[in-house]
Structure 1
C-alpha cells in the first residue's frame, strides 16, 4: 500500500501539480481512490471531477474518512485536510489509478476496439476466440470491458457505459491479474479517448473498425473532426494496429496507424493482410473464406447480419496478431452469440421474425437495413426505435430518413430521453421519417411500441427493435431506471402473437 507522498511525487514528476498541501499526511497509507463520494473509504483519496461536481460531494467524502482530495481548484472548507491541486484532473486520474491498483507495467495483454459501429460484437468475437485458445492451454477465461457486460475474474456485472472511468478500468485490470487472466478485451469509445480514461494504457492490439459521423453535440464532440481525431488517437498507445480497408476514410486511418509499432490490415477489398472473400448465406447462416500468409480457410458465423463479417475479420486479425491457431478462431466464431446484437426471434408459424439489435447511429442503421434486405427478400420491415435526449442530435435526422426510406412502418419510442421530452424527440425524428413517405407512429411506452409493431405485422414481416440491445435501463432527467430489455419485451410480445395465432386457427376449425 503506497503512502500519500508517493502519489504526490508521481504527479509532480509528470508535471501535473499546480499546488498542494499534505502536511502531516505524507506517510499516510492510501486505502482507496475514487471520484464517487459514496464509495470513499477511511484513508482514501477523493477525486473532484465533472462539470456537475458540487462541494457537498467533497464534504461527504471527508465525513467518510477521506484523507486528501485531488482537484483542479482549492475548496474553502471548515476543516483542514490534505489537498493536491492539479492542472488537468482527467490526466491525473489514470496516474492515481495506476499507483493504487499497481498496473504499471500492465500485467496482461490488452486489446482495444474502437469505431462507430461493431465495437461490442467484435470485442465478444475476440473474447470467444481467446477463450477457446486459452482453454486448450489450460488457461483462464479471458476478461472483457464492453457496453454489455464486464468480466474480470472477480466481477461479472452489467456495464453502465461503453468505457468506464480510469479508476474502474485499472481496478478491472488488477482483478484480471490477481485471477491469472492473461487477456482483457475492451471497447474504447471516442469519449474515453477524448477525456483520457485510457491514458497511459498500452494496447498490445488496437482495432479501428470504421468511422461515420456520430456523437456530435455540445456535450460530446463539437464536430466530426473532433470525433474522428479522438478515435485516431488510439494508435498513439498501440503496439499492433489493425485497420479495416473497407472503412470510409481508410487512407487517413492508415496514415495515422503508422505511429503504431506494426500495422495489420483486414477487409474484403484492396489487398489486406487478412482478406475475406466469397461471402455466402445458407439457411440464415453466413459463411466466408479468409486468406492470409498462414492459412486459407472457410469460416461460419452463428450470428445473423452480413456486416458481422467485418467484425469477424477484425477479430481474426487480432487473433492472428496474438498467434492464435485457425481452428480456435473457427470454433469460436461458429458458436458465439452476443446479447442484444442481431438476436432473432421467430413466430411458431415462421411468418414473423423480430430482430433485436443495438444499431443506434447512421452507419449501423445503413448496414443493418442492407443486411436485412438481403437476408429476408420479399419481407415487409417494421422498425421500432428512439433517439436519445441531450446528445447525438444528428441522429434524429439521419435515423429518421434511413428508417423511413427502408421501412414499411416506423414506431418511434423512448431511448434515454434525459432532460428532453420523448414527445419532442419523436416529433423531430418523425418529421424525417414522414419526409420520405413512410407511415410513422409515436408511442412513448417502449414495451407498448414493441407489442404494437408485432401485433400489427402481417405475414412475411421483419420487426426490427433497435437502439437498446441488451440494455436494461432508461435515463430520464439525470437519473437512470431499470427496465426490461428489448429481448425480454420482444419474447413476451412474440409469445402473445403465437397464442393469438393458435386461437385463430382453433376458431376457424370450429
Structure 2
C-alpha cells in the first residue's frame, strides 16, 4: 500500500476547512508543491517538508535550521519568523496537528479496526486483555499479532518500544496507524488519555469501538486539568469518534456517561457486574485455585470465564474487553482463550520469597481509585497478612495524588515507604514530605527513602510478619524522570527479585538453586563486608542480581544500575570500592593475550595506552574508557567482566579466576 503525496494546496485547503487559518497565505507560496515530509522536529527537515512549530521550549534557531535544511514553509501559531521561511499563520497548533498528520498519512485509522479505551484506572489491563483475545483470534486465521499503543509499550507492525506517553502526539500516532495498515495489521488497541482527548492528540482517529471504563479524581493540576469537571468532560469526548460505544454501568457518574454516549449517536453496548439488564453481564464471581472465575452473559452466549491474573477488580477490565468483542463480533472461544492467556507487563505481577512469607505485587496503580481498588482486593484475598506499600508521586503534575494516595495508603496499610517516582524537576524528598502528613492521618508507619531501590529493599527486609508488599506506580518501566532527562534504572521487578533472594539468604530459608549457591558462599564472602559496589546490570542479568543479593547479605553494599554513564557518576560520587561492567566478548582475546579464565590487571596508564592504539572492538573500548574515567574520578577499581558464564560477579568477589579486565589507579 502506497501513501499518496498531497500538495501544499491540499493542506492549505484543509486548514481553511477547519477554520484554523489566522491570516492570508503568504504571497509567492507555490500551492502545487508536493509535501513529502511533515514534522515538528527541525532535525528531521529535508527539502519538501512542511514544518510545524510546536513546543513550550521552542527556539528561533529551530526555525533557522528548518529553513536551512529546505523546509517549504512553517505552520505556526506564533508570530515570530525568520527570513526565507514563509509562515502559514494558524489559530491553534494543537487543533491543527491531528488533521495535518491524518491527511499526510492518508487517514490510516480508517483502514484499520482501532479500539480506543479510556478511564481513570484499568486502561492498560483492558488493552492487554483485548490484545490477547485479538492475537488469539488472528492466530487462528494464520495472521500475526495485533497492534497496541499503550502506556506500557507500542507495537505497530514496524516499531516496538517501551512507551513514555499513554497516547502519543498526533504525528507519531498517525505514523503508527500507517505502519500498521502498511504491514497488514487489522486491529490496533490503544489507550486514550484525558490529555489526548483534551488537547486533540487523538482527533481524526476513527474508533471501530470505544470503551469507557470508569471515572475518578486524577490528573488535577495547573498543567493538566484545572478541576474534575474539565477532566471528566475531556474523557467523554471519546464517544464522538466511535462507531460503537461500550459503557460500564457500574462506574461513578454512569448516567452522565451513558447520556454522553447516547448524544454521540452511535450504537451502545453496556456492561456491568451489578445490573443484570446490561448487555454484557458478569455474575458468580469467585476465586478457585488462585484463579478468578465468573459467568459471562452476552447477547450471543453464556459461559464461565477464567482469569489467571490475580485481582478480583480485573473482572471489570475483562468485562470491558468482552463488551468490545461484542462490538467487533469476536467469537466466544477467542474471548475465553484470550482472557485465560492474558498477561499485562507490570500489572499485578506476583513474586514471593522461598517460604511465601513475603508476597510482593508489582502494579502500576497510581491514583486514588486504583489504590483503593487494589487495597480492597488485597485485603479481601489476604486478610491475615500485614500490608506494606512502596510508592511516590510525580513531579509537577497530578498534585492531588499527594493528598489522595497518602491518605489512602495511611488508611489501608500497616507500613508505607515513600520514594522516587518520576520526580522530574522537583526534589524527591520534598514530594515525599508533602505526602507524609496525609499518610500519618491513618494507622500506617511511614518512612521516607528517596532511593527507590533502597526503599524496596528495606520494605522487603523489614517484613517480619507474613506480608503483602505492594510496589506501585512504575510497573516494568525501565526509566526514572530526573530533571528534564529520563535515566535508565532497574525495574521494580528486578529490584524485588534481588531483594527477596537477599531476604531468603538472611533468614537461612530453603531458596531456589541460584540463591542456594549464593548461600553456600556467604562464609567466603567475608572480605566484601563494609565495601561498596556499583554494578551496571546487564540484560538478562538474573544471575548477577542474585550475586548482588549475596554480596549485600554478606555485609557489602551493592547498588544496581542499568545506565552505564549513570553507574559511572554514581560510583564516583560514592567513591565506591569497585565499579563493575559486563561485556559479551572475552577481553583477553581482544587484546591478543593467550590467557584463559584470568582477570587482566592494569593501571590507568596502561588502559590509556590501549585506548590510544585504537585496536579494541568498539564496545570494549567504550567500556574501558568508562573504567579509566572511574579510577581517575576516585573509584578504587573498575572491573570489566566477560559474560561468558553465569555468576561471574560472585566468582570475582570470591577471588576466583574469571575472564575480564581490572583497572586500578
Tell me which interval the TM-score lies in, with the shorter structure as reference length.
Answer: over 0.9
RMSD after superposition? 1.8
Q: CA deviation at 1:320?
A: 1.1
1:300 paired residue number:
306
Cα contact 1:413–1:443 (8 A) shared by 2: yes
- CA gap of 1:104–1:347, structure 2 versus 1, over 3 A, is closer
User: Which range is displaced more, 475-484 or 19-28?
Assistant: 19-28
2:338 paired residue number:
332
Give runs of aligned pairs for residues 243-254 of structure 1, distance below 5 A. 243-254=247-258
Cα contact 2:354–2:509 (8 A) shared by 1: no
Pick one of 280, 283, 289 that aligns with 1:283: 289
Q: CA deviation at 1:25?
A: 4.0
2:9 paired residue number:
5
- CA gap of 1:447–1:41, structure 2 versus 1, over 3 A, is farther
Q: Does 1:415 align with 2:421?
A: yes
| SS of 1:106 mapped into structure 2 | helix
Pick one of 61, 72, 81 that aligns with 1:56: 61
Aligned counterparts of 2:383 and 2:272: Cα–Cα separation in 1: 26
Give runs of aligned pairs for residues 332-351 of structure 1, distance below 5 A. 332-351=338-357
Q: Does 1:474 align with 2:480?
A: yes
Stretches of structure 2 lacking an aligned partner (at least 5 in a row):
512-518, 524-665
Cα contact 1:238–1:260 (8 A) shared by 2: no
1:146 paired residue number:
150
Aligned counterparts of 2:392 and 2:216: Cα–Cα separation in 1: 19
| SS of 2:111 mapped into structure 1 | coil
Give runs of aligned pairs for residues 106-117 of structure 1, distance below 5 A. 106-117=110-121
Deviation per residue, 1:113-158 (Å, 9 max, x gap): 0000000110111111111111112233211100011001011111
1:81 paired residue number:
85
Q: Does 1:28 align with 2:33?
A: yes
Q: CA deviation at 1:40?
A: 2.9
2:450 paired residue number:
444
1:498 paired residue number:
504
Cα contact 2:109–2:207 (8 A) shared by 1: no
- CA gap of 1:376–1:38, structure 2 versus 1, over 3 A, is farther
Aligned counterparts of 2:487 and 2:391: Cα–Cα separation in 1: 18
- CA gap of 1:255–1:446, structure 2 versus 1, over 3 A, is same
Q: CA deviation at 1:173?
A: 0.6
1:102 paired residue number:
106
Q: CA deviation at 1:367?
A: 0.3
Aligned counterparts of 1:98 and 1:437: Cα–Cα separation in 2: 53
Pick one of 166, 173, 193 that aligns with 1:169: 173
Q: CA deviation at 1:224?
A: 0.2
Aligned counterparts of 1:309 and 1:501: Cα–Cα separation in 2: 37
2:97 paired residue number:
93
1:426 paired residue number:
432
| SS of 1:276 mapped into structure 2 | strand
Q: Does 1:132 align with 2:136?
A: yes
Whose Rg is larger?
A: 2
Structure with greater contact order relative to length (CA < 8 Å, sep ≥ 6): 1
TM-score by length of 2: 0.74
Q: CA deviation at 1:402?
A: 0.6
- CA gap of 1:164–1:105, structure 2 versus 1, over 3 A, is closer
Pick one of 172, 197, 200 that aligns with 2:201: 197
Aligned counterparts of 1:299 and 1:421: Cα–Cα separation in 2: 46
Q: Does 1:46 align with 2:51?
A: yes
Deviation per residue, 1:326-356 (Å, 9 max, x gap): 1111111111111100011011212211110
Stretches of structure 1 lacking an aligned partner (at least 5 in a row):
none
Give runs of aligned pairs for residues 358-437 of structure 1, distance below 5 A. 358-437=364-443
Aligned counterparts of 1:206 and 1:473: Cα–Cα separation in 2: 30
Cα contact 2:280–2:323 (8 A) shared by 1: yes
Pick one of 147, 162, 171 that aligns with 1:158: 162
Q: Does 1:265 align with 2:264?
A: no
| SS of 2:281 mapped into structure 1 | strand
Q: CA deviation at 1:10?
A: 1.7
Deviation per residue, 1:3-45 (Å, 9 max, x gap): 2222112212222111232625433322221222333334212
Q: CA deviation at 1:494?
A: 1.6
